[in-house]
């Protein structure tokens, strides 16, 4: 950081690079097969993400037997997270989740 004082104004120059604070996250356990599974389809309401989920559901439904889909969405709010919605997905009994964004 550099502070310069010209007598009339004081300017502070700072780095625009954010400090990185990595956080370890354990990945979810993989399911052995999608046959007979309940799959949550998560859409954050960005444009055309729902269309991508429809394509995924169709492809998975054709390839695997007795798959049940349950859909979730949230209103997009500029990257804001909604942990209560994640809890809804967890309590739905889904074996796996497919999430999409659009644009």
Record: fold of 36-103: Rossmann fold (3.40.50)
pLDDT score of 5: 57
Q: What is the pLDDT of residues 42-67, one digit of tens each?
A: 988 888 889 999 999 999 999 999 99
Look up the pTM and report it: 0.70
Give, as one character, the DSSP assignment of residue 27: P
pLDDT score of 47: 85
Cα distances from 71 to residues 1, 6, 39, 46, 67, in angstroms, run 49, 60, 8, 15, 13
CB 31 within 8 A of CB 95: yes
What is the band of 27 on the pLDDT scale with cuts at 50, 70, 90?
confident
CB 78 within 8 A of CB 47: no
Q: Map out the domains of the chain as residue ranges.
A: 36-103
Mean pLDDT across 35-48 = 91
Q: Is the pLDDT of residue 80 over 90?
A: no
CB 36 within 8 A of CB 66: yes
What is the band of 22 on the pLDDT scale with cuts at 50, 70, 90?
confident
Nearest to 71 by CA among 49, 99, 35, 42: 42
Q: What percent of the chain has pLDDT over 90?
A: 42
């Amino acid at each position: 950081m550099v502070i310069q004082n010209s007598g009339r104004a004081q300017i502070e120059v700072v780095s625009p690079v954010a400090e990185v604070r990595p956080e370890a996250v354990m990945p979810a356990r993989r399911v052995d097969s999608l046959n007979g599974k309940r799959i949550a389809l998560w859409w954050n309401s960005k444009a055309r993400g729902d269309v991508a989920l429809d394509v995924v559901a169709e492809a998975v439904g054709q390839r695997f037997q007795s798959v049940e889909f349950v859909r979730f969405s949230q209103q997009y709010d500029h990257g804001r997270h909604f942990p209560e919605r994640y809890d809804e997905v967890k309590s739905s009994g889904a074996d796996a989740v497919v999430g999409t964004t659009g644009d």
